[in-house]
């Protein structure tokens, strides 16, 4: 019988982060999952650490790859769980009982997403997500892959992560799954994992790459949506300006206008 979930960790030359992630997985009080580690041929001791802890993993490999999304695709192809969770090197679970508390909620939907604890320098906060997703939401944001379970079969329908993208392939997968393939989803308003800001997308020079990749997807695959969205945003801005107007507020107060 296949495990209900497969946890996939991708790593490249991040031994400290890898140790933090693996220890978090080992400490879970719920252990009925498959654990896969894909290392990109690290030279910082990561490969040796994986070898020394190989009893923890159902599958592992340390070999060169073309990037993080190539590695994630390798993990998908090896996974046998019904749902996949990408807990990449450096990420870790919120606490040792988070899987035990929530495993029964991982069911039915194609995508099940939780909140994410974020650590940025000396700041720690919980990032929550909308219960209802929309195209306009994905224009500016995405779902947290360390806190999102994805049905393995959904990759067969939508396709693998785009490997020639450097930063936004997981975002592209979500917007395609929901926008083109009507994937079902549910939101669990609780934190699942912890993420440390400082990855590829947070490096200043990569922000240009991120925007270029996102614009390529939006302007190629969703051009009509973008035109509608621009009209909606313009209307919303006008409406917000009217609501903020002192004259409009006075007219509403005097009941010359209904509140809108």
E-assigned strand segments in 87-172: 92-93, 111-120, 123-127, 148-151
Judge residue 178's burial from the number of C-beta atoms within 10 Å of its C-beta, 0-12 exposed, 13-18 middle, 19 or more buried: buried
Per-residue pLDDT of the chain (260 residues; tens, 9 = 90+): 567 999 999 999 999 999 999 999 999 999 999 999 999 999 999 999 999 999 999 999 999 999 999 999 999 999 999 999 999 999 999 999 999 999 999 999 999 999 999 998 889 999 999 999 998 899 889 999 999 999 999 999 999 999 999 999 999 999 999 999 999 999 999 999 999 987 555 566 788 999 999 999 999 999 888 877 766 666 666 666 656 666 556 555 655 556 65
Whether 11 and 40 have beta carbons less than 8 Å apart is answered as yes
Helix or strand run (H / E) with residue 15 = helix 15-26
Domain boundaries defined on the chain: 5-202
Judge residue 195's burial from the number of C-beta atoms within 10 Å of its C-beta, 0-12 exposed, 13-18 middle, 19 or more buried: buried
Whether 168 and 214 have beta carbons less than 8 Å apart is answered as yes
- φ, ψ dihedrals at 194, nearest 5°: -120, 135
Q: Which CATH number is correct for 5-202, 3.40.50.10540, 3.90.550.10, 3.90.1860.10, 3.30.428.10?
A: 3.90.550.10
| Six token digits for residue 74 | 């390798």
């Amino acid at each position: 019988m296949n495990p209900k979930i497969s946890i996939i960790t991708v790593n490249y030359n991040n031994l400290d982060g890898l140790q933090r992630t693996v220890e978090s997985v080992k400490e879970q009080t719920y252990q009925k999952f498959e654990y896969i580690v894909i290392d990109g041929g690290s030279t910082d001791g990561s490969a040796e650490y994986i070898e020394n802890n190989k009893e923890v993993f159902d599958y592992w490999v340390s070999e060169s790859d073309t990037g993080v999304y190539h590695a994630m695709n390798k993990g998908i192809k090896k996974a046998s769980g019904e749902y996949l969770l990408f807990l990449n090197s450096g990420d870790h679970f919120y606490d040792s009982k988070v899987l035990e508390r929530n495993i029964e909620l991982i069911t039915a939907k194609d995508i099940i997403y939780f909140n994410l604890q974020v650590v940025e320098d000396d700041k720690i906060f919980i990032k929550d997500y909308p219960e209802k997703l929309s195209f306009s939401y994905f224009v500016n944001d995405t779902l947290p892959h360390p806190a999102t379970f994805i049905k393995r079969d959904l990759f067969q329908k939508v396709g693998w992560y785009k490997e020639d993208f450097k930063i936004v392939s997981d975002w592209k997968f979500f917007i395609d799954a929901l926008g083109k393939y009507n994937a079902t989803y549910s939101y669990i308003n609780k934190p699942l994992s912890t993420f440390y800001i400082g990855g590829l997308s947070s490096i200043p020079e990569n922000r240009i790459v991120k925007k270029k990749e996102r614009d390529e997807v939006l302007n190629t695959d969703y051009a009509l949506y973008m035109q509608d969205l621009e009209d909606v945003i313009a209307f919303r801005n006008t409406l917000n300006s009217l609501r903020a107007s002192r004259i409009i507020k006075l007219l509403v107060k005097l009941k010359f206008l209904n509140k809108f």
